[in-house]
Structure 1
Amino acid sequence: MSTNSTPYPHSYSQAAKLDSRITVPRPVIDPVLAPIVDAFPLPEELDVGFLRGLSAGGGDDAFVTNADTVLKANPHLTHKEHSIVGPDGNTVMVSVFAPRVVTSALPALYHIHGGGMISGDRFSAIPPLLDLLEGVACIVVSVEYRLAPETRAPGPAEDCYAGLIWTSANASSLGIDPAEIVVCAVSGGAPLAAAACLMARDRKLPTVPIRAQMLLSPMLDDRCESVSDKQFEYGVPWNGVTNRGAWNHVLGDDRGTDKVTMYQSPSRATDLSNLPQAYIDAAECEVFRDPAVMYAMNMWRCASTCELHVWPGAVHLFDAVDNPNIPLVGAAISAKRNWLKRMMTPQGRPSVTLKS
């Protein structure tokens, strides 16, 4: 599974000038973001082992995230682990983080981690997620799905759907209002979130409809043929080479063919009607931009509701960590927080923060 872990040799912000392979005109990376983007060069070709090591903290205990580290930083939360039966008789692990004091049923954020569908775990993105939920009284449910290439699509999406069904069916015992479940995912988790919402619509389960879906810098299209795919084939984090490599692990030889279904690659869906309302965002300087915009447009075409943001001059996951010195990062985080508050703070409910 390993290919090449040599970091990209140029600064990303100057790649269009320095990399002779880049011939397609493209938007320029925001100079304010350049020092941050350039500080972490990544391999251009996909290396599953490298990516999994990076997701696990890169060998540095200071960057490891698990239930203990989450609770240490958030002592007002509790954590319970649940084991459920997956679609193939496999085990799907689910972590539930809840406030210690809950007086009534709360909304739930059902979280599907990123990592290109080939890396990461249910804890890896919880700290920034709790930051986004500051001031929102809710319960976080995070699912552990099988990864590619060991499990090909739609296996990971079916795992996430099974966890979603379990969350809704057990809402009462979990302290969750089943009518207020929001599905949230970043990057490689987003196609699984979108697929789970499509499954819920088509299979009419859960019986109580999902409240909303949040797809952040979503990896939605296996074909990798859009304008943004071509513009950012090289010279950005998670470039076209990386993206095709990940999809090849997820779909094998079927990638880009008419064998791929919407449950494997949500951009293949032709009917996006009757879906939970969505928040979709993307960076202007990333391969995922145009498929994300097209997904939003197709939701509107089919009379579904979507709030869409494209952040100018930004690259993939530019707003993963709040940075008060960069207004664009603050704007992106504020937009996400505001949307979550609108979705998950019904009038009359007191505000109980998940972040101390």
Structure 2
Amino acid sequence: MALDEQARYLLDMIASAGRPPLHTCTPEQARQSFDFSPLAGAPEAVAQIEEITIPGPAGDIRVRIYTPHGDGPFPALVYCHGGGWVVGDLDTVDVPCRLLATRASCVVVSVDYRLAPEHRFPAAAEDAYAAFQWLVSNARALHVDATRIAVGGDSAGGNLAAVVALMARDRAAPQPCFQVLLYPVTDGALDTPSYRENAEGYLLTRDSMVWFWNHYVGDADRTHPYASPLRAEHHRGLPPAFVVTAEFDPLRDEGEAYARRLAEAGTPVECKRYDGTIHGFCWMPGVLDKGRQALDDTAAALAAAFQSDNR
């Protein structure tokens, strides 16, 4: 399918800004220029937003808690932002988190996990896991139903969400009831057809992914299942999933491969490819209609999963 007209216009705008390629920047430079919030659109109102710190494996972790209107106990979603484990923060996904909270009628806990290269693998994964287990333990105080807590994220955050589910299974700990994986990173090989087809020209490039991986794990740990969840020894015993991919995205094939691996292991999974669009499109629902559609679809999948678990 041809590139979506809105995505093409956006890419042309970004190209005309003349910013240096991400992989030529230092992490500090990349963080200063990484801001998609003007493209996210108007934020939806929620009943309450609170920022607190929670205990983590190496110190406090900042989280932002979105509570929807209505009466609890609510289901909940622990959400990890994207940004290649190097860039991004709570503000990056503020609009998507608000939308998911309102449309799925759930509490959303957005996690400000430690970033690389200052904190390399498995720091981000352990922070995400700690945040999920903290919410399970503190569900009642937050008017959350501890039996209906999902995990989700986009890109590198989708990677962390998948890894939290693996960790919970492997450690015989409380597990998510559902996982939302938006164009997730699942393998460090960088050798799929979608990496070759979409290596450059569609916002996320292969060179950028090499840069991200090198800052997060280097070469030694890329095959570890908590870095590359596609490489887990098996995928049995994991929660149902909703997986989103984008046609013009280097990560397309590994996201779809992970969905197949879950299905082969007997896990209920829905995988939806959004044709014509690019990586990161869920950050930009204000200018990309397919970004808003994907978030609406994700909220519907979450709501259905929560309703199923409440029967």
TM-score clears 0.5: yes
Cα distance per residue 1:224-259 (max 9 Å; x no partner): 011111112222211111111100111123265xxx
Q: Distance in 1 between matches of 2:302 and 2:5?
A: 29
Q: Distance in 1 between matches of 2:295 and 2:141?
A: 32
Larger Rg: 1
Q: Distance in 1 between matches of 2:20 and 2:221?
A: 22
Q: Matches of residues 145-164 of structure 1 in structure 2 within 5 Å?
A: 145-164=113-132
Cα distance per residue 1:146-198 (max 9 Å; x no partner): 11111111111011101111110111111110111111101111111111110
Q: Matches of residues 50-129 of structure 1 in structure 2 within 5 Å?
A: 50-55=29-34, 57=35, 74=45, 76-84=47-55, 86-87=56-57, 89-99=58-68, 103-129=71-97
140-149 vs 101-110, which deviates more? 101-110
Q: Does 1:312 align with 2:275?
A: yes
Q: Does 1:223 align with 2:189?
A: yes
Q: Does 1:49 align with 2:28?
A: yes
Indicate conservation of the 8 Å contact 2:225/2:232, yes or no.
Answer: yes
Indicate conservation of the 8 Å contact 2:64/2:90, yes or no.
Answer: yes
Q: Distance in 2 between matches of 1:248 and 1:325?
A: 30
The residue that corresponds to 2:203 in the other structure is 237
Paired residues, number: 305
AA aligned opposite 2:302: L
The residue that corresponds to 2:252 in the other structure is 289
1:36–1:91: structure 2 CA closer, same or farther, 3 Å change rule?
same
AA aligned opposite 1:150: E
Shift of 1:36: 2.2
AA aligned opposite 1:142: S
Shift of 1:324: 8.6
1:235–1:135: structure 2 CA closer, same or farther, 3 Å change rule?
closer
Q: Does 1:33 align with 2:4?
A: no
Q: Does 1:246 align with 2:215?
A: no
Indicate conservation of the 8 Å contact 2:90/2:112, yes or no.
Answer: yes
**Identity across the alignment (%):** 29
Q: Distance in 2 between matches of 1:311 and 1:127?
A: 20
1:334–1:102: structure 2 CA closer, same or farther, 3 Å change rule?
closer
The residue that corresponds to 2:168 in the other structure is 200
1:249–1:145: structure 2 CA closer, same or farther, 3 Å change rule?
same
Q: Distance in 1 between matches of 2:288 and 2:278?
A: 17
The residue that corresponds to 1:13 in the other structure is none
Shift of 1:49: 2.4
Indicate conservation of the 8 Å contact 1:136/1:345, yes or no.
Answer: no
Indicate conservation of the 8 Å contact 1:44/1:238, yes or no.
Answer: no
Q: Distance in 2 between matches of 1:198 and 1:44?
A: 34
Give the 3-state SS of the residue equivalent to 2:78 in structure 1: strand
Q: Distance in 2 between matches of 1:53 and 1:158?
A: 25
The residue that corresponds to 2:136 in the other structure is 168
Shift of 1:136: 3.0
AA aligned opposite 2:97: L
Cα distance per residue 1:48-102 (max 9 Å; x no partner): 22331134x48xxx85x9xxx97xx736314141331x22x32222232224x66
Indicate conservation of the 8 Å contact 1:222/1:255, yes or no.
Answer: no
The residue that corresponds to 1:16 in the other structure is none
Indicate conservation of the 8 Å contact 2:149/2:178, yes or no.
Answer: yes
Shift of 1:345: 4.4
Residue ranges of structure 2 left out of the alignment (5+ in a row):
none
Residue ranges of structure 1 left out of the alignment (5+ in a row):
1-26, 350-356
The residue that corresponds to 1:334 in the other structure is 296
Q: Distance in 2 between matches of 1:163 and 1:348?
A: 23
AA aligned opposite 2:108: V
Give the 3-state SS of the residue equivalent to 2:179 in structure 1: strand
- RMSD of the TM alignment (CA)? 2.8
Cα distance per residue 1:322-356 (max 9 Å; x no partner): 35984x4554343223212212346999xxxxxxx
Q: Distance in 2 between matches of 1:303 and 1:95?
A: 34
The residue that corresponds to 1:269 in the other structure is 232
Q: Distance in 2 between matches of 1:270 and 1:220?
A: 14
Report the TM-score, using the length of structure 1 for normalisation: 0.77
AA aligned opposite 1:344: F
Give the 3-state SS of the residue equivalent to 1:97 in structure 2: strand
Give the 3-state SS of the residue equivalent to 1:125 in structure 2: helix
Q: Distance in 2 between matches of 1:201 and 1:187?
A: 22
Give the 3-state SS of the residue equivalent to 1:114 in structure 2: coil
